[in-house]
Amino acid sequence: MAKATLCVALLLALFSCYCAQDSGDYNITYPPEVDALRAIRRKLHDPKKFLRNWGRGDPCHRNWTGVICTLPLSDGYMHVQELRMLNLNLSGKLDPELGQLTNMTVLNFMWNGNITGSIPKEISNIKTLKFLLLSGNQLSGPLADELGFLPNLLMFQVDWNQITGSLPKTFVNLIKCRHFHMNNNSISGQLPSELYSMPALIHFLVDSNNLTGNLPPEYSLMPNLKIL
């Protein structure tokens, strides 16, 4: 009798664990990042319901649309590694809580067409970021100085938006950046001569803006520049 009772108890325990996981209660994503994703979702309009599974259970366990996660790290949690929101017909704004996704390497909101507002300066908190891809929206306002402090950034694309103001001189710190696409905006002022010391730069696209002055002669010193 005792053995039968023990077996029943074990089966019930296993069934409870299965149900918890199946219902999305199995929390494997770093909790502050879950909160950040929920804040990001609240600022977005999703007319085609691509993000309908957001909010159901755990982001990494439930494979929320566009959310790519790491393997568990030393803290025991999985973390958001990529946010792929390319061409989902989203509108709304980019929430500053994006800066809480501090293990992210790819942030891609390209070609949604209707993302408005400014690019949050809090993105500069993501020191692991390699690809900042925001082309083809209606983002506006000046580029924050803080965006020049992304030490691992390889590609910075904000072309085909409504960006205004001048290019920050802090972008000289983007020493790994290879592709710098700022064309088709309303960027004004002169190009900072300091940017010549971006040693990895291959593409520097700033056409179709409101720039003034001459092209800094120092740009001829860029060792890898192919397209200007």
pLDDT in tens, 121-169: 999 999 999 999 999 999 999 999 999 999 999 999 999 999 999 999 9
Q: Where are the domains of the chain?
A: 29-221
The pLDDT tens digits of the residues spanning 2-22 come to 444 444 444 444 444 444 444
What's the CATH fold of domain 29-221? 3.80.10
More confident residue, 25 or 60: 60
- The overall average pLDDT reported for the chain is 90
**Strand 155-157 relative to strand 67-69, pairing:** unpaired
Percent of the chain with pLDDT over 90: 77
Amino acid at 183: N
